[in-house]
A and B are shown apart, each in its own frame.
Chain A
Amino acid sequence: MSTMENQVPVFEGIPSSEDLARIADLLVQAGLETIELSDGMGARCFMRVPAPAPALVSGAQVATAAAPVEVPSSDIAVKAPYFGVLALTDLAEIGTVVRQGDVVGQMRIGTLQVPVTVPVEGTVVDVVGQEGVLTGYGAVVVRVEPAA
């Protein structure tokens, strides 16, 4: 263990991905499953290497996001890239044919405007966002059925 202590990088905030990978390799070499790093301020970082399988980093306890909600239809949700008061454009109409990069709305905060852009070519099948309403990050603005 003492040899490992000397090799593990000094813990000052969240280690870089390179450091994490290095620490994970050291864990495997030392035959250890978990390591806990902490600094003088109480910050902590845990790592766990999958028990029998060698090598890969399981990450610093940063789990994946919640399971994706199953969407029966094939349309795509176009989400607000920022929060703000939503101003829809003329393209935000059911039936409108849109191309990749088209702007269907603006998220406005004072003079700041962040465009809501369509990621794929297709047809607007639903307008979920409401004009003039304060809208949060990640809220669905329109749904687009991609062109075949």
Chain B
Amino acid sequence: MSDMQRFKRVLIANRGEIALRIQRACRQLGLETVAVYSEADVDSRHVREADVALCIGPAAASKSYLDREGLLLAAKVTGAGAIHPGYGFLSENADFADAVEAAGLTFVGPTGDSIRMMGDKITAKRAMRDAGVPCVPGSDGPLPASAEDVRAVALEVGFPVIVKASGGGGGRGMRVVHTVDELEDAVALTAKEAQQAFGNPTLYLEKYMQKPRHVEIQVLCDTHGTALWLGARDCSLQRRHQKVLEEAPAPGIPPETIAEIGERCVQACRQIGYRGAGTFEFLYEDGIFAFIEMNTRVQVEHPITEETTGIDIVAQQLRVAQGGMLDVRQEDILMQGHAIECRLNAEDAATFMPSPGTVTRWDLPGGPGIRVDTHVINNYTVQPYYDSLIGKIISYGATREQAIARMRVALAEMRVEGISTNIALHQDLLADPKFQDGGVDIHYLERWLAERAPS
């Protein structure tokens, strides 16, 4: 792979901790970096340390990190041969990926076509089903006309089921049905509502997952036919669809089950010609996996998989983008130990309101099994213009108990002044007996927060 270098200089089209993470991977591979930044990020650590740093616009992301034309021009004027989009911003923008390649540059990620296919829920689900990736059991299309046939479908799927309008969305035009007796009335009523609301009475039916967990599979593919799965992550602890704490592996799910799902995921990758890093997200309940979507980029929580597999995912993304071959075989990947990630946010502990400002004290934890990915340094000013993620503490242990114990020590060691953070929330969560048991569902954190609320 050393003889084939498609690019020597990488433009990092992102900011914050992931920009620094990408820069580190580039350095390790002997690649030069271009940090493009908004006026608000002039004092960012990765900007100061980059080989080339270029301010490309004002604080507004639309005029900097989301400015496609500006980013391409910046690559041109700095002589960058590749663009790494990180996560968020333009990372899952198929048109941008196409434009990068059309400009003769390398997009560190999958092709625009792959991104497009996975960005559309219907085509994504169809592709997954074709490849044997499990999806939510359901009617696989419009419900039949006769009540008898509908009943047969529902019984096969198993109650509770959710009846949804094909034309619906945003939580409207759907009804949960718990028993077979309610089915006929529920279908008639939902069809009538769907006709009134969306002008289309077509319905479909799916298994209703009441208390699912969020379990996802990391994959890594090169352009030479190698597709690997790197184990599972459990990201069930979420608030308002934002992940708060993640762990790998997913507690209580047998490794053989994950291996089976992992194999199907990489099979899907081969079928669609996927390249680079990606994540298959599933809901998991009662032993059933149901595909939700695929993220066609590196994820915030990728470090816990790096800790349990020893594979540097960002460096591998760059290797694949160079056209290199993955030098690992599936059978060589050992998923060992347990890793936890706590996302540190600059936000009010009680209201979750963002808490921008200058960090006047920033003492990081350390010791065996502790990793901190952050762009924040002492006297750094957390900007109000972007998301409130200021870093991630990752703990690793031989067992889940050890990983939890190390994380609790790390959180207790961490000292932050000048801004509010969610460190105390993480401490309380790690002390929670249900969390310690493992395997809580995606609604658990919101329920737990509601119970803690003062009134």
Contact = CB atoms under 8 A, between A and B. Distances in A.
A84 interface: yes
Contacts of A34: 351, 353
B8 to A, nearest CB: 17
Contacts of A110: 73, 76-77
Given A137-B39, A137-B58, A138-B39, A61 B241 contact: no
B57 A46 contact: no
Interface in A77-125: 83-85, 109-110, 112
Contact of B73 (A41, A46, A109, A138): A109
B352 A36 contact: yes
9 contacts: A36-B240, A36-B352, A40-B241, A41-B241, A44-B242, A46-B354, A83-B56, A136-B55, A136-B56
Interface string A62-84: 11011000000000000000011
Given A36-B351, A41-B241, A63-B384, 4 more contacts: A34-B351, A36-B353, A46-B353, A137-B56
Contacts, number: 67
A48 B384 CA distance: 14
B28 to A, nearest CB: 26
B335 to A, nearest CB: 27
The list of the 4 closest CB pairs from A to B, nearest first, reads: A136-B55, A42-B241, A63-B384, A38-B240
Contacts of A66: 381
A96 B59 CA distance: 33
A139 interface: yes
Specify which of A34, A61, A136 lies most central, judged by the most chain B CB atoms within 10 Å of its CB: A136
B78 A134 contact: yes
A42 B242 contact: yes
B54 interface: yes
Chain A at the B interface: SS class? loop
Interface string A35-59: 0101111101010100000000000
B74 interface: yes
Nearest to B69: A112
B77 A109 contact: yes
B57 A137 contact: yes
A147 interface: no
Contacts of B287: none
Interface of A: 10, 34, 36, 38-42, 44, 46, 48, 61-63, 65-66, 83-85, 109-110, 112, 134, 136-139
Interface of B: 39-40, 52-59, 70, 73-74, 76-78, 170, 240-242, 351-354, 356, 381, 384-385
Contacts of B356: 63
Contact of B55 (A48, A112, A139): A139
Contacts of A112: 73
Contacts of B54: 83, 134, 136
Nearest to B171: A40
Nearest to A12: B170
B67 to A, nearest CB: 10
A109 B76 contact: yes
Given A83-B56, A136-B54, A137-B56, A62 B74 contact: no
A137 B240 contact: no
A65 to B, nearest CB: 7
Most buried by A among B52, B78, B240, B385: B240
A68 to B, nearest CB: 13
Contacts of A83: 54-56, 70, 73-74, 77
A84 B75 CA distance: 11
Nearest to B352: A36
Contacts of B240: 36, 38, 42, 44
A134 B381 CA distance: 26
A85 B78 CA distance: 10
Contacts of B59: 65
